[in-house]
Amino acid sequence: MPALSPVSKVGVRSALLSGLSALAFSVLLLPGFVIGAETHTWTATELFEQSVTQDVVLSPAGKIELPSGTLIEDDGPAAGFSYYSNAEKLTAGKLLRKVLVVDRPAARSAQLLVARGGDLQVELNGKKLALGEPEKLGHYWNAYAIDPKLLKQGENAFVISGSGMLWIARDEEYAAGSLTRTHHPNRSARSLDGGKTWDDHSLGDDGGVDGEYNVRLALDQTLPQGKVTTSVIDQGNLGGGGIGPQLTKTGPLEIACQIQKSDQQSVALRIRSSDSPLFTDTEPAWQTVTADLQQKATVDKLAGRYFQLEFTLQTEDPLSSPQLGSLQVSTTAEQVPTTAHWNAEESDNRPLVRSSIPFLHEDFLHPKLKRLREDYQLDEVVAGSESEFELVCRLAAWSHGCWPKLGHLKEVYPSWDASEILKKHTDGTPVGGFCNQFSLVFLQACQSFGVPGRIVSIGPGSRVDLVRGGHETVELWSNQFQKWIYLDGDASCYIRDEETKIPLSLLELRDVQLQSLAGKPARKIKLVSLTETRHSWKDTLGIHPFFEVRMVPRSNFLSQASPVPLNQGMRGWFWTGHAVWSDDQLADRPIYSQRIRKRANFEWTLNRAHLTLEATADPKVVRVFAETETPHLAALDAVIDGAKAMQVEPSFLWTLHEGENCLTVTPRNTADRSGIPCTVVLDFPGN
């Protein structure tokens, strides 16, 4: 095999892409299918499951469509507990006004969401509302049903009076919770003279708060837009798998879809192509296909054999959605039969599961992680660990014992920095905190060893009738188990499947709890304590409720201080930056806007390569493309036929010999932690 130069430090789905010529094509409308050299059809279910999707769902009828659920709010970045005054009591003669901007007022139903509420009287755009009993959304939010026909496009003024109280998102706390909404929009005001005059700067019981009342509007209406982005498809191997044959000619490409839409709806298509399957977020460039996809689109010329399709579903009608059904692609590419044969039984080259969440991982080489590892002698803590899982379990047991419960949260809420949490307070003990701080210390200890993870909070959601409490914890990506796992750095435990002994993720635990509560068969599970703890296992509800699962969609808290939830866990979970799991097992609370409805968007693949193989003009030479979603990738290590590992580029040539040929590629991150091996075995009969 030719000498291979060291791989450059490349990011997620990285590739050394040469400049691409502009993609030129024309679109023809043809009366029916003309089967080319190869045709492949994806059902809507296959298209949904194999693509990266954003704000679309698979309907019960098996069609891809836009989901329902719109949240209108402007308090989210700074909503929650504050160490400063952020409440206003309703008293006789006091009016509180909240203006919410509604772009699309048509809805099947509407709810006014108030934290905290009381015996309220509400006027909407000058009309008094007849409020019924509110629906309790956990301990802090109340939802009042209102007639959506009373809403108008643009500003809608809610004037609230009566008795009770409202919380306020303080203006100076917005920047910590959002990169874009760093100040409040000035849509809250109060009147102390029956509405004659209004003050929008002197809110709160002491009149010293500038901000926004925690008042939101939830509309049952179809989202305006969603996307489906296919995986990269090989024109010479539309179904994927195996070896892509050598192509002597590419194109044209014919695309047809099953689409249902009205005049107020659309399904738009874009395409991009290249001679390499290693696409990035920006390259190659997208080009619009201006055809009626209910007929057939023909792309005459592509920039290479590999292409990707993006469907955008849109509706101007908030009460209905377009639907995308099956996809059929045909190509007349001319192929040369391959000589080598794919050994499926010996190969392990599963497709990567990708998410539409642009998750940001911490830099494993961040100086603060290095200092944390050194200052607290974490190498001694994990010394003797025989596996990655044992290593992180030792770190969980260590973080659990770092300080007494709660620390000094009554005085200060530390930044999302393990060193700040562990530093000495005035009494000589760590600043500490509760579960969120234990979890952050544990997470960053794991990151110092190159193990990626994330902060996830869990709670009962609306089912406070069943169980109380909430919790912040950690999910880690486990190379050993090739999945996300829940490992608690506060409770010093994990929960495993009793049959397989494999640790479970939070969504898997949620499934167990909900199935058990519904009287359905559920897998048997066991809590495994790593040290003696204050927690005890009771029943299927466990030590915590897993009904509502909320992910902070980044973990780079040292490299980037914001956005983070305001004083997370001190009072509910009001921050609208959470990515919140949503499915049909349990109605989710409408106080959140970023709802995750597809498992792959919550539990995607890390630290593993996927190989695309392409035959060349030389029968004994195969071109290999390696893609990976490895946070802070440093190298791709390849082993050929059991020889010594060598570093390879994302694209390289593999020279075969007669008989069985084995190639294993393993990603390695900047912390020198190797990921999950990907293996391909080819049988080559020789020339």
* Assigned architecture for domain 71-222: Sandwich (2.60)
Q: Taking residues 319-337, what's their average pLDDT?
A: 93
pLDDT at 291: 74
pLDDT of residue 210: 98
Task: Give how far Cα 522 sits from Cα of 96, 476, 503, 508, 518, Å.
Answer: 48, 24, 15, 10, 10
**Confidence band of 26 (pLDDT split at 50, 70, 90):** very low
- Lowest-confidence segment of 336-350, 538-552, 668-682 by average pLDDT: 538-552
Rounded Cα distance, 480 and 496, in Å: 14
Does residue 164 have a pLDDT over 60?
yes
Query: Could you give the CA distance from residue 430 to residue 436 in angstroms, rounded to a whole number?
Result: 15
Sequence-separated contacts (24+) of 597-601 with Cβ below 8 Å: 597/57, 597/67, 598/48, 598/53, 598/57, 599/507, 600/49, 600/52, 600/53, 600/353, 600/354, 600/355, 601/53, 601/54, 601/355, 601/356, 601/357
* Per-residue pLDDT tens digits for 372-393: 999 999 999 999 999 999 999 9
Name the pLDDT band for 536 (thresholds 50, 70, 90). low
Q: Which residues contact 291 (CB under 8 A, 6 or more apart)?
A: 27, 28, 29, 269, 297
Burial of 198-230, coded b for 16+ CB within 10 Å and e otherwise, reads eebeebbeeeebbbbbbbbbbbbbbbbebbbbb
pLDDT digit string, tens, across residues 233-257: 999 999 988 899 999 888 789 999 9
Q: What is the pLDDT of residue 534?
A: 65
With the C-alpha atoms ordered 379, 385, 386, 391, is the resulting torsion angle positive or negative? negative
| Whole-number pLDDT of residue 469 | 80
Domain assignments of the chain as residue spans, ordered by start: 38-67+224-336, 71-222, 367-602
Q: Which helix (H) or strand (E) is 396 found in, with range?
A: helix 388-400
pLDDT-based confidence at residue 405 (cuts at 50, 70, 90)? confident
Residues 6+ apart with CB under 8 A from 264: 315, 316, 317, 320
Mean model confidence pLDDT for the chain: 91
How much is the average pLDDT of 220-226? Answer: 98
**Per-residue pLDDT reduced to its tens digit, 84-104:** 999 999 999 999 999 999 999
User: Residues 562, 178: contact at Cβ < 8 Å?
Assistant: yes
Of all residues in the chain, the percent with pLDDT exceeding 90 is: 82
Question: Residue 645 pLDDT more than 60?
Answer: yes
Region 310-334: mean pLDDT is: 96
Look at residue 538 in the predicted model and tell me its pLDDT: 57
* pLDDT attached to residue 36: 38
**Across residues 125-140, what is the average pLDDT?**
94
The model carries a pTM of 0.92
CA distances from 645 to 36, 304, 649, 668, 686 (A): 42, 31, 13, 12, 25
State which H helix or E strand residue 373 sits in: helix 367-375
Same fold, 38-67+224-336 and 71-222: yes
The pLDDT value given to residue 344: 86
Q: What is the amino acid identity at position 155?
A: E
- Please tell me the predicted confidence (pLDDT) of residue 12: 32
CATH architecture assignment, domain 38-67+224-336: Sandwich (2.60)
Question: What pLDDT digit, counting tens, does each position of 8-24 carry?
Answer: 333 333 332 223 222 33
Beta bridge partners of 636: 648, 667
The model's pLDDT over 415-446, given as tens digits with 9 standing for 90+, comes to 999 999 999 999 999 999 999 999 999 999 99
In total, the chain counts a number of residues equal to: 687
pLDDT category at 542 given cuts 50, 70, 90 is low
Tell me which residue has tokens 């892509």: 244
User: What's the CA gap between 151 and 110, in Å, rounded?
Assistant: 9
Of 671, 676, 670, 593, residue with least CA distance to 628: 676
Position 607 confidence tier, pLDDT thresholds 50, 70, 90: very high
